[in-house]
Structure 1
Amino acid sequence: MATVVPENVPPSAGWTSYDGWDYNGMKERLERFMSIINKSSLVEHTQLIIGQPVSISEAFSAGQFWCCFELLAVDGRLIIARVRLPRHPDSTSANKHSELYSIECEVATMKFLHENVTGVPFPRLYAYEGPGSQRAGNVGAAYMLIEGFYGNTMQDVQFNICELPISTQEHIITQWTSVQAELATFTFPQIGSISHFSKDTGAIIGKLSTAVAEGLSNDGPFTEAWDYFTAVADAKFRHACKNDAANDDSSFFSRLGPFVFKDIVHNAALFKTGGGPFHFNHMDMGTQNILIDQDFNFLAIIDWEFAQTAPWEVNHYPMPFPLISADAKTDCILQNPDHIAHRNVSRQVAARKMYRQKFRDAEEQALKSRGRSSQKSIADVLDGAASRIYAILEKFGVFEGMEEELTYEMVRLAYGFDREEAKKYLNEMEAKMKGQ
């Protein structure tokens, strides 16, 4: 059953502040941060923008990079102060320059959305005060003031939407695919992040803002899909090796799988799809980044820091109905009503069919109502081998214990090998990996 979401309950009612942060010096980091932040300056700036008094929440929500405070206006409007946390002393994920560039790209993206999209709900950006600004100095850190919403993430309301009534699933998926289809109508000749936007220049595509955090040795911008996937493959393998060295319990296939993906990118034709145009993609539009009301209406898509232009093959079926298992395995389960996974797999298959059809409907609607369509059909891409392989790669490190099955499925999709042929190929890949 879905969780009942009370109306008009602000997000801060569920914020846990320091709870859950008492490890590796993280709580102390937050306490030091709170000791220097001038919340009254946030209140003052917000009141100046909206022209009425506001109160600021005592509770806060913290992540790896940002801390959020809630500001409530007398007319009930919500504004979220998203304040940049200092880098943790042990952090190696990014440097100050790349962090600032990432923030600037997110701000540019939100400006682009504000000027160009009509069917995508997203928070309004009221203000951004970067390092060096007087207001950031007054507060004690860089910050954004963005629109808040009376709602919750879909993940928190209903973790597995496949358990909802079909009519509710259809309502959710219709909105989900419509948003992505509209974003995909904006195409560019390069793969990268929106580094700058103005009405005069339009959107300028620069290097990927997430390159350092994701471990990409080449940060673009890319003019060929293959160059992008090569950079992703190298980064995924390096990350897998690092994790494997630090985790004695990790599966051997947790390294071999990403290494196999590297081989597929280099030697199969699946990811050699040439140059642009490349579509604009949120890149992280899972249920954790979709705010909804109690009727499952989309209120806003949040967290645009990963947004970029991308090859079409990055689109795949999302959780909780990913397409990562072999078709034969899925068919076998569907044909056996007594199988322990029959109910769950049946629901996932039905959700995928609905998702693909709703994408097709959304693409047709985008062309009909806006006179624009994407250069390719995402509905057609979803069941393709490249999309499925990329979806599998994303699950390494997430679906622990499935690494071997995932690796074999990548090989089957890429080369059409049966089990024995795949085993021989993987033995060769193992030897090659050890040689490197």
Structure 2
Amino acid sequence: MDARDAVPLEIEPFGNPELLASKLRDSGPVHKVTLPDGMPAWLVTGNQEVRQALSDPNLVRSIEAASPDLHKYLGLASSDFVLTRHMLFADPPDHTRMRKVVSKAFTPRRIERLRPRIQEITDELLEPVLPLGEADLVAALALPLPIAVICELLGVPYADREEFEQYAETITGINASSTHEEVIAAGQWFDKYTTQLVESRRRRPGDDLISAMLAAMDEEARLTDLELRSNVFLLLAAGFETTVNLIANGLLALLRHPEAMAVVRDDRRLLHTAIEEILRYDSPVSSITYRFAAAPVKIGDVEIPAGDHVALSPPMANYDPAKVSRPAEFDITRSPNPHVSFGHGIHFCIGAPLARLEGEVAFGTVLDRMPGLALAVPPEKLTWKPSFIVHRLDSLPVTFDPARR
């Protein structure tokens, strides 16, 4: 790709579809850009075109299809990063085989069984702040809840969670706030840690997801040791990020639309459609990267040469007026809701049901136990993590009516 006529993009617009649209040269669904880390890409912004790209078998995850001049940008997909053999970076048939094992372990029944424990963790997290009448809901709830849930699901000891969080933050800050050396070091830590976890479950199986994955393997769907460890890493490091942002961004959306918050508080039947609208209105994921044209690919009216990098913008796809009426309006009754915040096609987020469940419990509990909830600062004072991959608030300070001790 000739970068001379590409639109250079900074981090800030990626989480803001209206701002990003203003930075692009035209209103078409495919744009030649340079990402904030310097990587050239075709950025797909149309809803239908994003779905097309996510379903096209000629757009692959394998870095072998990438033009050689792109390899220096590949970060988590580079050969320096040891845990790359997971389903997110795999193409069929390897992807099909890996996902079969994880899906057999990560069942809807197993997820729904977590509801009482998710409620219990949520109550435990909120209990210390309820008498105070003020809190940072990122630090108090949105961050620790998904970490606690995924760690319990995979059997990570409570004492290890702080260190796990530190290295996971490094991984999810890739291409923006984390250096290549820091990401590689974090990967080495996860490699040692997942090795210990897997060996522990082989010796002493339990009621956890790793044990279930080991039990789910058969002759048709076996994982190598590296594939197993890589998929455990994927569930650990990436498994909580979408949920953190769903909860934080969702609380912010409700706080900025108090009439919608009041309606949901009065009628919990609307919570399911409200969660889908939160996912559309402020996507937890700012961009999906690392797809490469294994052969020339046509998306919309644009012919993309073999070897080029294709990135996708869920926020802009979620605001596409061709698919979404009144896209800038926060409508908790919107149905159907054609958002692509969890992806589409074979790589649709396997943890989406768990994220929705955690969001349902978190929002419901906050609405129940924090009457008078309001932002403690003007919305323009809020800041975001410096990443163009995920859209996460640094903090969400709020006030509410304090509970009596």
In the superposition, the TM-score normalised over structure 2's length comes to 0.24
Larger Rg: 1
Q: Quick one: higher RCO (CA 8 Å, sep 6+), 1 or 2? A: 2
In the superposition, the TM-score normalised over structure 1's length comes to 0.23
- Pick the structure with more helix per residue: 2
